[in-house]
Amino acid sequence: MLPFVNNTGLYTDHYELTMAQGYFLSGRHEKKACFDYFFRKAPFGGSFVVFAGLSSVLQMIENFSYTKNDCNYLESVGFDSRFVEYLQSFSFRGNIHSVKEGELIFPNEPALRVEGSILETQLVETLVLNMLNFESLIATKACRIRQAAGNEVLLEFGLRRAQGLGGINASRAAIIGGFDKTSNVFSARHFGLESSGTMAHSWIQSFSDELEAFRAYANHFPDSCTLLVDTYNTLKSGVPNAITIARELREKGHQLVGIRLDSGDLTYLSKKARAMLDEAGFQEVKIVASNQLDETIIQSLRSEGAPIDVFGVGTSIATGQDDAALDGVYKLSFYDGKPSIKVSENLSKMTLPGIKTIDRFVDGENRFCADGISLGHETGYNEIFHPTEAGKRKNVTSCHKENLIHQVMRDGNCIEKEQAPGDIAAFTKSRLQQLPEEHKRFLNPHVYKVGISKELLETRNDLAKQYLKKDSF
């Protein structure tokens, strides 16, 4: 469970409040609206996103309210006193439908929709974007690193390089995307993750020599001892001393768990260290590697045959480096009984109007073929259309259709049972197995087909015509 969720009403952009005041003062604030969350471009040059952050969003929205002090503050910075009085008893009373947390989603899919009064659906925009964009970014990064690491163990230890308190949700999202454990004790406690960690260089430095430092640690943790071997000289000091300790532990009926390499060339050092450990009869001692790792470096280490059993990843998993943000947006699709659209100079940036749902078409071998976006009431459509390239269409009759959207909040109450991140991770893993390989390639992956129903296409085109009818090129 996310900490710090009480009275989240100020966790918003100033203009949401300005618009809310405008809606309120003009008596339009109870008009019904629907907003869609979607992104336009998958990060890291990939084709998909692992949808994460849903649980955090729901908790923060359930607690989206204003204290008396918050209200006094808002009045002091110029908000209208009638509006501020209204906010004092405000809570979110709308409905939210969403794909499951951990689902694989693709560009332009309305993965989550928020329905309610225009005022309440507007006010939560920033919060929805902030949490979904970030956790989805990190879960996606984690998923890529997991692809590179195969079945080896992945540890997240990026809190020291995380973007401030952003590290809290980063650790959760890393687990969803496929990491095994985190170093972040705070997140482990609040989200029910497994944390781990052994020693830093400072432990070694605080003893007069490395062997003494290793021995002291092994005495305290005889069954969970991983020794950091690069403080002085990895192959001439660290590994030989670790082997000495491994012998001492074995004599006492314990077992050295591993050694950790944190600098130098990890392929060279891991091969040499593996040979030394094996030679000394310690085939079971694992090699942990860390130092600026990401999916590309891990892929390279493994392709060179580096015998690394555990990868510790910091900056890249905590921040998503090289992409620091997912470009998710929150757009009005329905207002006061009518579908709504935002046109754009660029057809591909035009939004999809109406209250929509997503179907996934799955082939006879249980693999994902394409997704279809349709208006909620459509059921039997068996053709999907390219949203912008006129004429392109795909018949999906031969596929099994699976609806991806379900209700997660009703009248402001979360009706989604909170899932453990580990369970979400298992779901993500199973979905990845259903996604054909060509969409998972790191470099230039094949674009996954996302089409729209004929009725949605026509609704969108009819609305667009109203705005683009004259002289718009």
**302-321 binders of its own copies (CB under 8 A):** 315, 318-321
From CA 16, how far away is CA 108, in angstroms rounded? 23
**Shortest distance (Å) from residue 360 CB to its own copies:** 27
Between the CA of residue 443 and those of 143, 343, 392, 439, what are the distances in Å? 15, 32, 25, 10
3-state SS, residue 359: strand
From 146-154, 230-238, 362-370, 388-396, give the range in contact with its own copies by CB under 8 A. 230-238
**Among residue numbers 189 through 208, which ones bind its own copies (CB under 8 A)?**
189, 195-203, 205-206
From CA 163, how far away is CA 319, in angstroms rounded? 7
Site for its own copies (CB under 8 A): which residue of 1, 15, 389, 415?
A: 15
Site for its own copies (CB under 8 A): which residue of 250, 254, 302, 342?
A: 342
Of 122 and 357, CB closest to its own copies:
122
Q: Give yes or no for residue 254 binding its own copies (CB under 8 A).
A: no
Q: Give yes or no for residue 461 binding its own copies (CB under 8 A).
A: no
Q: Give yes or no for residue 462 binding its own copies (CB under 8 A).
A: no
From CA 142, how far away is CA 171, in angstroms rounded? 10
Q: Give yes or no for residue 442 binding its own copies (CB under 8 A).
A: no
From 300-308, 342-350, 411-419, 447-455, give the range in contact with its own copies by CB under 8 A. 342-350
Q: Are the C-beta atoms of 217 and 260 separated by less than 8 Å?
A: no
**Among residue numbers 58 through 97, which ones bind its own copies (CB under 8 A)?**
70, 73-74, 77-78
From CA 250, how far away is CA 254, in angstroms rounded? 5
Of 126 and 434, CB closest to its own copies:
126
Q: Give the total of residues touching its own copies (CB under 8 A).
A: 107
Integer distance in angstroms from the first to the last C-alpha of the chain?
A: 50
Sign of torsion over alpha carbons 343, 349, 355, 356: positive
From 94-102, 336-344, 399-407, 453-461, give the range in contact with its own copies by CB under 8 A. 336-344
Cross-strand pairs, 370 = 361, 449
Site for its own copies (CB under 8 A): which residue of 16, 378, 418, 455?
A: 16
DSSP-assigned states of every residue in 138-168: HHHHHHHHHHHHTTSEEEE--GGGS-TTHHH
**Among residue numbers 23 through 62, which ones bind its own copies (CB under 8 A)?**
23, 25-26, 28, 31, 33, 35, 56
Sign of torsion over alpha carbons 360, 364, 368, 371: negative
Q: Give yes or no for residue 463 binding its own copies (CB under 8 A).
A: no
**Among residue numbers 357 through 416, which ones bind its own copies (CB under 8 A)?**
none
Of 241 and 319, CB closest to its own copies:
319
Of 118 and 399, CB closest to its own copies:
118
Q: Give yes or no for residue 252 binding its own copies (CB under 8 A).
A: no
Count of CB atoms situated within 10 Å of the CB of 121: 25
Tokens of 12: 């918003």
Q: Give yes or no for residue 419 binding its own copies (CB under 8 A).
A: no
From 131-139, 246-254, 369-377, 434-442, give the range in contact with its own copies by CB under 8 A. 131-139
From CA 373, how far away is CA 388, in angstroms rounded? 13
Secondary structure E strands in 237-363? 258-261, 286-289, 310-313, 329-335, 338-339, 356-362
Q: Are the C-beta atoms of 266 and 308 separated by less than 8 Å?
A: yes
Site for its own copies (CB under 8 A): which residue of 89, 283, 444, 472?
A: 472
Q: Are the C-beta atoms of 321 and 445 separated by less than 8 Å?
A: no
From 88-96, 184-192, 270-278, 395-403, give the range in contact with its own copies by CB under 8 A. 184-192
Of 99 and 132, CB closest to its own copies:
132
**Among residue numbers 260 through 289, which ones bind its own copies (CB under 8 A)?**
263-264
**Shortest distance (Å) from residue 400 CB to its own copies:** 36
Of 10 and 415, CB closest to its own copies:
10
**Shortest distance (Å) from residue 382 CB to its own copies:** 32
Site string for its own copies, 147-176 (x = CB under 8 A): ----------x-xxxxxxxxxxxx------
Q: Give yes or no for residue 337 binding its own copies (CB under 8 A).
A: no
From CA 153, how far away is CA 178, in angstroms rounded? 10
Contacts 24+ apart (CB under 8 A), 300-309: 301/266, 301/267, 301/270, 302/148, 302/149, 302/150, 304/267, 305/267, 305/271, 306/266, 306/267, 306/270, 306/271, 307/270, 307/271, 307/274, 308/152, 308/266, 308/270, 309/152, 309/153, 309/258
From 85-93, 122-130, 362-370, 444-452, give the range in contact with its own copies by CB under 8 A. 122-130
Site for its own copies (CB under 8 A): which residue of 45, 152, 221, 280?
A: 221
Q: Are the C-beta atoms of 234 and 242 separated by less than 8 Å?
A: no
